[in-house]
Chain A
Amino acid sequence: MSILLRSAHIIHSESAFNGLTRDVLIENGLIRQIADRIDAPDHAQVVELPNLHLSAGWVDMRVSTGDPGFEQKEDLTSACRAAVAGGFTDIAVLPNTRPVVDSKDTLGYVRRMAEGQPVAVHPIAAITKGAKGEDFTDMIDLHHAGAVAFSDGEHPLQNADLLLKTLQYLRPLGGLLMNRPEETGLTRFGQMHEGVQSTLLGLKGMPAMAEELMVARDLRLLAYVLGEAGTTEADTLPVLHFSCLSTAKSVELIRQAKEQGLPVSCDVAAHQLVFDDTALAGFDTFLKVNPPFRSRADVEALWAGLADGTIDAIVSDHSPQDDESKQVEFDHAEFGMTGLETVFGALMSHNPGLPLGQLIAALTTGPRRVLRLPTATIAEGEPATLTLFDPSGTWTFDRSVSKSKNSPFLGQTLTGRVLGTVRGGKLWR
């Protein structure tokens, strides 16, 4: 089985072919040949599309699937289908299922369900049992069983001592702790970003400070852990990762931490780069997410964080919710929106001028490094894990392949079109 990609514009900063237009021949899952012109072998699947761009396969570090336990919202198969539609070859899935992925048993279920899917599924294991923030899971066990990282996912770690001990405990394993920063004592009953807009809408606000305090706290705890043990070679990789940054001050704190050499990383959800809190004026529950949409200045700071490399990865923060969770009063609605299918469209439609290569890096090399996945290279003889896209192509998001339809982009025409993925020797689209 061979696939021939005709006149593909290659976007991959670590490849010798970066910025060049070439034919690419894939055979038996490997990149066989990259050349100006390749004659199609017999029975080759030839992909010849206008403005075809090619990069290493995209990685989404933050996906909720609902499998097991909330299969009516999304199961692993439908999540993988949505991931392919969004151009992803790899996804890391949160442990907030029912039961929570906090044992070898539940981790094994996710790994079994992931077999044969068009996307590589990397399970994130919970730090605490039931992600309740109380008792530790068997983390060494889970690490050896294939957990790509540790996080309580939707639940920020409130207890500083738990975070401290997790960092200490994971360190000899070279494990990664991921935390979504939110001091929940400051956000109880909160519905949206605290600001003028929340005041106008009479909705309880969630102050930016709730996120920033926890970023500052966690950085301080990390410095404490490293200071006591000394840095090692392993620390060149991030050991603490902040999920879903949303405020300017958070970006600044991490920028400073990186300048000081702390092994930290962070991501931003694509939708945070699009919306600000004024979007909530109509009480649209599809726009109710956590962290909430902040001010325009915060959105601009997030783009700046991407531009200067402070932010390592862009995630979908895909959070499928059924109608029963969203077609209700605003303060009764669940948080979250689906995102797998619209990451690229959202980014390209709202990009204030970031070079394409930098955006793609936040979907490829950035998350791969954070998750310690093998580097993907576009070179002859390398495995073909690729994403095909057209950065200027427009498309209308009129039908979602996710089981849930809670996307504010549904019905919208977006710029930035995914054309397919190549993984495991197959073309997916």
Chain B
Amino acid sequence: MHIQREVKYQSDLSPDFAEWITSVPGGEHIKECIQCGTCSGICPMSIYMDVTPRRLMAMTNAGFKKEVLSSFTIWLCASCYSCSVNCPKEIKLTDVMYALKRRAIEEGIQPHPKFAIPILARAFFDTVKKYGRISESMLVVKLALKSGITMLLGMAPLGLKLMRTGRMAYGQDKIKNRKQIKKMFNALEAKA
């Protein structure tokens, strides 16, 4: 029989991570979280989350880096800002979620390799980088190619309805001055 320790030792945690989150925009007040649960109560997505927002705040503050970054929760946040405007301690939870998403991408952590949300975020990012604009239809195709082609079949009736009502944009929309965007990327990606 293999007995495993369920509870973490303090030495297993990342105090750096807990410190880092206070430096991101919106995370300034996170240490003041009183665990009231307003965020979890008001969040329309919390019933689908593996870790509720309240719990995620506590875990982040305690330095449960791996658990936080690999949670579905950060990606399930739909960015509706309900928690942000209702938090009695003025923690901008939505912005904290964004920071956690970025950190998860940076560290290459995903809750599941085929989980569509980070894939869409990436596809979206790459499209704007290249063309300056997105086209909804092209984005759906890109997403389907990466997260499973069956999804595209499921979308077909919807696509037909949009075509019939003239609401489907064909091809990739682009801006004219794509060089400008490129220059901006170069300026920010260059090491200071």
* Pair from one complex: no
What residues make up the interface of A, taking CB atoms closer than 8 Å to B? none
What residues make up the interface of B, taking CB atoms closer than 8 Å to A? none
